[in-house]
Amino acid sequence: MILLDNADHLSFFQQVLHFDYWLFSKINRQWANPFFDNVLPFLRESEIWLPFYLFLLFFALLNFSKKGFWWCLTLVMTAIISDLISSSVVKQLVIRQRPCSDPFISKYARVLVSYCPHSSSFTSSHACNHFSAAMFIFLTLKHTSNWWRLVFLWAFSISYAQVYVGVHYPLDVIGGIVLGCCIGYAMSIFFGSKFGTLSINNKPA
């Protein structure tokens, strides 16, 4: 297991951690405002995004027919795979205490959630899951509209909220973003190899 707080690491890595703590303090405390305090905790909840998920379902089925069904299934598999890799592999190898459970950090952090998860902080599974989905959605649907690039704003807002509410450090989120984008890219390649490029009314792209 890799302990991110291990003093045996090189000084460069200690500097990275120092910057990580500094940025966490900025996002969690200094850049806080009442509006974000009320909104960002809710952005983390999957129920809030149910209308968006239903929109994706109907959009895919109505526009791509049978391909749309396989697209939806692959999107679900993308989220499942990213969660398994982040939660069951990376978190078991990289042990890091969350800011909301660290006895020292939690004294100064603003924890805006009622429950602090006991799992390792690295990587952020929220960031990994949502960026894997965003990357897959964008790469497979970009031929239908330029608006699909906004899914990265959706994923970023949820990832940013993890730091803001005090359950992750920025480095955890960055790690989740990188991992998630790689998974989403790989799944888009897999989907393209099996079903080709998606376009409205199944017209050639």
Q: How far is CA 106 from CA 6, 7, 171, in A?
A: 20, 21, 17
pLDDT at 111 over 70: yes
> In this structure, is residue 2 part of a structural domain?
no
The verdict on residue 132 lying in a domain is yes
Would residue 22 count as lying in a domain? Answer: no
Give a yes or no: residue 7 inside a domain.
no
Domain count for the chain: 1
With b meaning 16 or more CB within 10 Å and e meaning fewer, what string describes 139-177?
bbbbebeeebeebbebbbebbbbbbbbbbbbbbbbbbbb
Q: Give the pLDDT of residue 202.
A: 44
- Enclosing domain of residue 165: 57-200
Cut 0.85: pTM above it: yes
> Which of the four pLDDT bands, split at 50, 70 and 90, describes residue 5?
low
Q: Specify if 152 maps to a domain.
A: yes
Q: Is position 19 within any domain?
A: no
Residue 201: pLDDT band (50, 70, 90) is low
CATH of the domain at 61: 1.20.144.10
Whether 175 is in a domain gets the answer: yes
| Structural domain contains residue 123 | yes
